[in-house]
Structure 1
Amino acid sequence: MDEHDIFKLITAGVRFTKKPKKQAPAKLQPQPEVFKQEEPVKSDKSDEDDQETTEFRLLAGGSDSQPKRKKSKAGKAPSSKELELQRASDEANETRRQYGISVLGKKVPPPVPSFEALTRDFKLLPRLQQNLLARNFDQPTPIQMQALPVLLQRRALMACAPTGSGKTLAFLTPIIDGLRSHKTSGLRALVLAPTRELAQQIYRECAELTRETGLRTHFISKVSEAKQKHGAECKQRYDILVSTPNRVRFLLQQEPPLLDLSLVEWFVLDEADRLMEEGQNNFKEQLDDIYAACSHPTKCVAFFSATYTVPVAKWALRHLKNLVRITIGVQNSATKTVQQELLFVGSESGKLVAMRDLVRQGLQPPVLVFVHSKERAKQLFEELLYDGINVDVIHAERSQHQRDNCVRAFREGSIWVLICTELMGRGIDFKGVNLVINYDFPPTTISYIHRIGRTGRAGRPGRAITFFTQEDTANLRSIALIIKNSGGSVPEYMLQMKKVRKSEAKMRAKKPLDREDISTKIRPEPKIDEIHKSAKLKKVEKTEKVLKKRQGTENDLKSKQKKLSKIKVDLKAVGKRKGKGSKTNKM
């Protein structure tokens, strides 16, 4: 980064005005503003996101969501056109206030209140509108109200909306409408997601919306079949590709490449904050290679997620022109349809007791249970299976076929309780999940938001219970603030706890706490005599080791002394022989 780039980042959103050259001596003129910047709205947010939120607002502060009013000439009334534009702007702002929509950008189009208005204003594809109505999408959600007109104008977009608010439909509808013309053959839209389960879910939704439109959608299920599906010998051409970044980059690295992304007009990232994470086992490096292969000069780029992070904002501001930012509700907050609870369980063993208490009180399936590792998922699965609960487990070690069967059984209701890791915390839409249990405390606030977002989707009520122990109190304040901001009630002492340093929060996010195994096996307490005996045995063993070492050193010394004595005898014998030889020579 050179000096120009640093100055550009520092001065984003800043306006410098020159002082007037001449000032009238008779009249006092007000001092001009040398520095003007939009102040961020103050709200209670998690501690680890405060600095990131402020940094993003400073980066994006130069945009203005409302059109600037033209000053009418003195003594002249505004024209009818100006009044009409002002009236439309006021109506758009009132609609945004009503639905909690915040926008940031230049000349942002007004939100659309219905799909009929969308069809009227943008001439939506009639078959697409029929498919929307067939899916019982009568009225657009807040994110769809604002994101649809922005993307139909082919503007770059960053959208942040709560989980279960209809983000998938918000980017699939403009893609399908924009690809209605069949001038070119080949991939013209690419949608990436962090997990295979989420990508498969997007593919199913896209297949329903593209029915009888002539567009073909593909999902990469097996890389081994990619040559038949995408190679030079393949006659069938797909318009929309939905996949994970790793599979797409693998196909690009083949010789010759099995994918041609030069015609891609739509580039969409779902769960963009996860895809933009840097470091080991993350997607950023894969994403850079894929974005470089999408060389179409007028491609439309859109990022969607339930949470915002600074890396996403910096990348978008650096690479995307005419960017629009949309936020629904409070940024990085949980949905208000979820009843959130924090439950103190004392210790790790107390979690299993609390879990069985919930089962005894009567769980209303389906239920999702989150733990932080696959080992703990296996252990909890064995415990609940022993209790006779209809439970299954999904983690990275299970085969893809097993994971697909598990997800399908959970959707169909054959499984009541599903134990999972962070693998299932992103974007998966399970209809009607009634309860989410955070068996292990979430490592970050973003993880917490995505976990509890598996319930309370599409306006349905949900419930989330989070277990915490004494070791989890470091991150307790940030989670309590999220619950308070979303309308829940938390004890006052949690809000007054000490803030966690940013370095410590990052360390906890990368390396979760070491926890005891999940088990009900009672270890018998050793008796006092046994304790004394074990201590004596340890002392005896220690002394034996020391004696053996000493004995070994003594034996070494004795052998060395024997060698030295032998060497001395040999030297004396050699000396005597030399002495006799010298005498005979003299004679």
Structure 2
Amino acid sequence: MDAHDIFKKLTRGTNLNLKKAIQVQQTKVPTTPIKNEPTSEESIQPSRGKKKLSKMRLAALKQEEACLIGLILDHFKNQSTFLHIKYTEIITYTQCCYTYSPQVNHLRNQERISVTGPNIPDPLRTFEDLKSVYGLSTVLVNNLLHSGYTSPTPIQSQAIPLMLQGRQLLACAPTGSGKTAAFLVPVFHHLGRPKHSGIRAVIVSPTRELARQTLRECQRLSEGTALRCHLVKKAPTVARSSNQYAVPKCDVLITTPNRLVYLLKQDPPAVSLTSVEWLVVDESDKLFESGAKGFRDQLATIYNACDSTTLKRAMFSATSTPDVARWARKNLTDLALVTVGHRNSAAEQVEQELLFVGSEAGKLVAFRNLVHQGLKPPVLVFVQSKERAKELFTELIYEGINVDVIHADRTQLQRDNVVRSFREGRIWVLICTELMGRGIDFKGVNLVVNYDFPTSAISYIHRIGTRSAKLHKYKYILF
């Protein structure tokens, strides 16, 4: 035998016996215990006995599987309707989550709407969709039209359908984009008619000026619905022996955090929030700030007092912070996030100008030059502190300018009169602190001057957004 024959024998392999392989595979199939389980004595019988035993096992398995399938079919024979409903719900949810028509995508891209969350409804195209699709009353739609809106703004087109579905919402859109109407309209629709069950909606604003502005919008949009809106103007002293609430009966309560917490901490509490269905937080990033200037502790107290099982929350702001988004994702179920435009960016229709003045004294010189060049009122001037506001007011009053100032040291009556005079055109130049930097819409403002540089980008965005909701173009100068 040569080397070639030895190599041939080593590499020729083995023959395959199909019958034997099938029998081995059948003995390795895992089976469930059956009544005819072999004993230890049977397991050592010759190979012929093993073959007969495996056939018996297979027959028993087939009979057991047939019985099980029959039971399942008999169980669901009378539940075909249930199976059909479940299948339809799954298909509908999948279509809503993952299939959007090209027209809807084009509309969102055109309006620069970014939305996150499951089962997002299509944005509104016209206010008539509110009546035809969501069943809003003609009174509410007409109030929207009479408020100056001819078509839904980007935040309204997406936020209103979400809140009408009862979704919890975190929305971010520029100041003056119609956020107030975006949350008031669905809240009014859900409340329907007045009831005697107590307060059913609470709107929390960081400042009294913003709360008063919300009240005006609330009264305008609720006209003809008989819904009662109330603003907590001051925290009254409540008699301990009295069981009467200091807040009159109303459907919508508008307040600042400190005043509402004061009422809740009375003994007994001067207000009850157990029947609240909607809790709306305006300028949520400010209210979530911690520290002396923030309202995080007060907001926690308000959240705990609203213990209704049907409570829904909505948070709106012109800027967004990671803390607010993180809290919302962790604590709110069925959450939807809506952003209009680039997050934390200034409005595009504003002409921004950076004016170099050389020194601190150069700021007053530059402002006087603006006056001599022909200042077109109304004008807003932002400073960093109330002391700076008083100093600038003293300097400008001698220039013969129709100017006034608003800051925290002035009484509430004085602040209300100043804001009213500025809105009516009796004051041309209004000097204000950060107090007026959030959420206030002044119609027709032509110039905003940052006399003092803002301390943060968030503050800059809020100052630059203090203008009308009709997207009025104006100029912004930063010294």
Q: TM-score range by the shorter chain?
A: 0.7 to 0.9
Q: Residues 34-433 of structure 1 correspond to what in structure 2 (within 5 A)?
A: 89-182=101-194, 185-224=197-236, 232=244, 237-433=249-445
Give CA deviations for 1:384-417 in whole Å, capped at 9, x if unaligned.
Answer: 0011111000000011111011101101111100
**Cα offset, 1:83, TM superposition:** 9.5
CA contact (8 A) 2:232 2:254 kept: yes
Structure 1 unaligned blocks of 5 or more: 1-78, 468-587
SS in 2 for 1:346: coil
Name 1:464's counterpart in structure 2. 476
Aligned to 2:462, which of 450, 454, 469? 450
CA contact (8 A) 1:338 1:456 kept: no
- C-alpha spacing 1:86/1:347, structure 2 compared with 1 (3 Å): closer
**Cα offset, 1:134, TM superposition:** 2.2
Return the alpha-carbon distance in structure 2 between the equivalents of residues 240 and 110 of structure 1.
28
SS in 2 for 1:454: coil
**Cα offset, 1:224, TM superposition:** 2.0
**Cα offset, 1:344, TM superposition:** 1.1
Name 2:446's counterpart in structure 1. 434
Among all aligned residue pairs of Structure 1 and Structure 2, give the percentage whose two residues are the same amino acid: 54
- C-alpha spacing 1:382/1:99, structure 2 compared with 1 (3 Å): same
SS in 1 for 2:352: strand
SS in 2 for 1:288: helix
The one-letter amino acid of 2:139's match is R
SS in 2 for 1:345: coil
**Cα offset, 1:216, TM superposition:** 0.4
Return the alpha-carbon distance in structure 2 between the equivalents of residues 160 and 374 of structure 1.
29
Name 1:575's counterpart in structure 2. none
Return the alpha-carbon distance in structure 1 between the equivalents of residues 199 and 238 of structure 2.
14
Name 1:554's counterpart in structure 2. none
CA contact (8 A) 2:247 2:271 kept: no
Give CA deviations for 1:226-273 in whole Å, capped at 9, x if unaligned.
Answer: 779x96277952000001000000000000001100110000011110
Give CA deviations for 1:463-496 in whole Å, capped at 9, x if unaligned.
Answer: 10000xxxxxxxxxxxxxxxxxxxxxxxxxxxxx
The one-letter amino acid of 1:357's match is N
CA contact (8 A) 1:231 1:259 kept: no
CA contact (8 A) 2:376 2:447 kept: yes
Return the alpha-carbon distance in structure 1 between the equivalents of residues 474 and 282 of structure 2.
23
- C-alpha spacing 1:82/1:160, structure 2 compared with 1 (3 Å): closer
SS in 2 for 1:136: coil
Structure 2 unaligned blocks of 5 or more: 1-90
CA contact (8 A) 1:435 1:455 kept: no
- C-alpha spacing 1:300/1:386, structure 2 compared with 1 (3 Å): same
Normalising by structure 1, we get a TM-score of: 0.63
CA contact (8 A) 1:367 1:433 kept: yes
CA contact (8 A) 1:456 1:462 kept: no
Return the alpha-carbon distance in structure 2 between the equivalents of residues 80 and 405 of structure 1.
55
- C-alpha spacing 1:126/1:370, structure 2 compared with 1 (3 Å): same
Return the alpha-carbon distance in structure 1 between the equivalents of residues 422 and 454 of structure 2.
23
Aligned length: 388
Q: What RMSD in Å do the two structures reach over aligned CA positions?
A: 2.3
Return the alpha-carbon distance in structure 2 between the equivalents of residues 85 and 310 of structure 1.
25
Normalising by structure 2, we get a TM-score of: 0.77
The one-letter amino acid of 1:243's match is T
Name 1:18's counterpart in structure 2. none
CA contact (8 A) 1:307 1:331 kept: yes
SS in 1 for 2:130: helix
Return the alpha-carbon distance in structure 2 between the equivalents of residues 321 and 87 of structure 1.
22
